[in-house]
Amino acid sequence: MMEHLTWGENLAAVGSGTLASLFMAVVGGGASALAMPLLMSAVGLESSRLAMGTTTLSVAVSALIGAVPHFRQGTVSWAAALGFGGAAAAGVWLGRQAGITLSRHGLLVGVALLMLPNAWCLLKRPSLARGHAGRFGRWPLWAQVGPLGFGVGLIAGVAGMGGGFLVMPGMMATGMPMATAVGSSLISVGALGAANGALYAWRGWVDWHVVIAYAGGGLLGSGLGAALTRRLGQRARILPWVAAVVISAAAVYLLTTNVRLLWGHLA
């Protein structure tokens, strides 16, 4: 754990939180894939475990902060958010036990391969109609999102990262408008990240100075993201395309940085 942060490292952590939270507020997840390389390169977290733990917990805090504007606007389905997030948290605990013995580079390659089809699933349901979150709060929704949430949590636990990029397509698969899917996803990502981050914190793999600075930037990024979502709310095709392109780019980054290392371990 870093003893202290310089002014430059503090600014880098705040900037990382702003950028990642802006993206997460717009598309409902996927901030971990963006935040982790930022924290490693700009802030200087050299240990991969420390970077993963700090990123996971920072993203969880920022997700819950980003959910506040959606809660005020009524674009949160609590049935979906709690059903998905609760099941995902249970999956994380089981997944982490399995992930301890597996190659981290292999896991990240597998996660990247899952990101690509899930990113493009976003393009199938581009509706941004606001509606009211309560219309999706019927009991059958829990049955729809619970097993899916458990599966996402299991993958996130095995891979040791947030898994937020898988939450948004799962929410949209229920047929809810994207604005409600984003708000509900943020609650689920917060629960998922908190469960995963708690396991890292238990082992001392979290830099709390960075988490605090990142959360400060997350406040700004979440506010900007909520405003951007409202501005683009009538342009139904924009947000799904932005989400698909950025998540696909993150998947390509994970593939290019881990395939070579995995090959080196297997050779």
Asked if the structure places residue 2 within a domain, the reply is no
Asked if the structure places residue 1 within a domain, the reply is no
5-25 pLDDT, tens digit each: 788 888 999 998 898 888 777
Structure tokens given for 253: 């980054």
Range of the domain at 115: 7-266
> For residue 266, how many other CB atoms are within 10 A of its CB?
9
Quote the number of domains for the chain: 1
Asked if the structure places residue 13 within a domain, the reply is yes
Asked if the structure places residue 159 within a domain, the reply is yes
259, 109 contact by CB (below 8 A): yes
Q: What is the C-alpha separation between 70 and 226, in angstroms, rounded?
A: 8
CA-based angle 30:74:215, to the nearest 5? 40
Crossing angle (nearest 10°) for helices 139-159 and 178-202: 40
Q: What is the C-alpha separation between 35 and 8, in angstroms, rounded?
A: 17
pLDDT at 240: 67
144-153 pLDDT, tens digit each: 788 888 888 8
Asked if the structure places residue 181 within a domain, the reply is yes
Q: What is the C-alpha separation between 196 and 87, in angstroms, rounded?
A: 13
Q: Quote the pTM value.
A: 0.73
